[in-house]
Amino acid sequence: MIELLGWVPFFPLLGFLMLALAGRRLPKPPVAWVGVGSVAVSMLLTALIGGQFLSGTRQPYRLVLGNWIEVGDLSVPIGFYLDALSLTMMFVVTGVGLLIHLYAAGFMKDDAGYARFFAYMNLFVSAMLVLVLADNLVLLYLGWEGVGLGSYLLIGFWYEDPNNGYAARKAFVMTRIGDTSLLLGLLLLFIELHTFDIQALMFRAASLWAPGTALPVAVAALLLGGAVGKSAQLPLQSWLPDAMAGPTPVSALIHAATMVTAGVYLIARTHDLFAMAPPVQWIVAVIGALTLLMAGCSALAQTDIKRILAYSTISQIGYMFMALGVGAWSSAIFHLLTHAFFKALLFLAAGAVIFCFHHEHNIFRMGGLHRAMPLAFASFLIGSAALSALPFTSGFYSKHEILSAAYEVSPGLWAAGCLGAVITGLYSFRLVFLVFFGVQPQDVDNRLDWRMSVPLVLLGVLTLFGGMLRIPLDSVFPGLLNPDRNLSLVSVATIAAPFLGLLIAVLLYFKGGFSTLPLAGFGLINRMRMFFFSGWGIDTLYQALAVRPFYFIAKANKNDALDSLYTLVALLGREGHLLARRSQTGHIRWYTSSIALGTVVVIAIGWLS
Partner 1 sequence: MSEISIEQGLLLSAALFVLGLIGVLARRNLIMILMAMEVMFNAAGLAFIVAGSRWGQADGQIMFLLILTLAAAEVGVGLGLVLQIFRRFHTLDADSLNGMRG
Report the interface residues with partner 1, using CB under 8 A. 580-589, 592-593, 596
Q: For partner 1, which is the closer residue by CB, 516 or 592?
A: 592
Let me know: does 169 contact 157? Beta carbons within 8 Å: no
Q: For partner 1, which is the closer residue by CB, 558 or 582?
A: 582
Separate counts of helices (H) and strands (E) for the chain: 28, 2
Q: For partner 1, which is the closer residue by CB, 555 or 577?
A: 577
Q: For partner 1, which is the closer residue by CB, 511 or 589?
A: 589
Q: For partner 1, which is the closer residue by CB, 55 or 584?
A: 584
Q: For partner 1, which is the closer residue by CB, 555 or 581?
A: 581
- DSSP β-bridge partners for residue 132: none
CB of 589 to partner 1, least distance (A): 6
CB of 572 to partner 1, least distance (A): 18
Q: For partner 1, which is the closer residue by CB, 67 or 585?
A: 585
CB of 598 to partner 1, least distance (A): 13
Q: For partner 1, which is the closer residue by CB, 522 or 590?
A: 590
* C-alpha dihedral sign at 307, 311, 316, 321: positive
Instruction: Give the per-residue SS3 of 462-522.
Output: HHHHHHHHCCCCCCCCCCCCCCCCCCCHHHHHHHHHHHHHHHHHHHHHCCCCCCCHHHHHC
Let me know: does 249 contact 104? Beta carbons within 8 Å: yes
CB of 608 to partner 1, least distance (A): 19
List phi, psi (to 5°) of 600.
Answer: -60, -45
**348: nearest Cα among 429, 255, 441:** 255
**How far apart (Å, rounded) are the C-alpha atoms in residues 124 and 351?**
20
Q: For partner 1, which is the closer residue by CB, 511 or 582?
A: 582
- CA 461 distance to own-chain centroid: 25
User: Could you give the angle at which helices 260-269 and 84-91 cross, rounded to 10 degrees?
Assistant: 170
CB of 567 to partner 1, least distance (A): 24
CB of 568 to partner 1, least distance (A): 24
Environment class of 239 (CB within 10 Å of its CB; exposed 0-12, middle 13-18, buried 19+): buried
Helix (H) or strand (E) holding 81: strand 74-82
Q: For partner 1, which is the closer residue by CB, 447 or 587?
A: 587
Q: For partner 1, which is the closer residue by CB, 54 or 603?
A: 603
CB of 586 to partner 1, least distance (A): 3
- Alpha helix (H) ranges present in 360-488? 369-372, 374-387, 394-409, 411-436, 450-465
Q: Which residues, 6+ apart, have CB-to-CB distance to 36 below 8 Å?
A: 98, 101, 102, 105, 118
Nearest 5 degrees, angle CA 379-CA 405-CA 431?
25
Q: For partner 1, which is the closer residue by CB, 488 or 592?
A: 592
CB of 548 to partner 1, least distance (A): 51
Let me know: does 69 contact 131? Beta carbons within 8 Å: no
Instruction: Give the per-residue SS3 of 325-336.
Output: HCCCHHHHHHHH
CB of 569 to partner 1, least distance (A): 22
**How far apart (Å, rounded) are the C-alpha atoms in residues 409 and 418?**
15
Q: For partner 1, which is the closer residue by CB, 442 or 585?
A: 585
**How far apart (Å, rounded) are the C-alpha atoms in residues 535 and 301?**
9
CB of 603 to partner 1, least distance (A): 12
Q: For partner 1, which is the closer residue by CB, 567 or 592?
A: 592
CB of 596 to partner 1, least distance (A): 6
Half-sphere exposure of 57 (CA within 13 A, CB side): 3
Let me know: does 270 contact 202? Beta carbons within 8 Å: yes
Instruction: Provide the 8-state DSSP code for 134.
Output: B
CB of 605 to partner 1, least distance (A): 19
**How far apart (Å, rounded) are the C-alpha atoms in residues 105 and 101?**
6
CB of 577 to partner 1, least distance (A): 9
Helix (H) or strand (E) holding 539: helix 538-542
CB of 549 to partner 1, least distance (A): 49
Burial 106-145 (b: 16+ CB within 10 A, else e): bbbeeeebbbbbbbbbbbbbbbbbbbbbbbbbbbbbbbbb
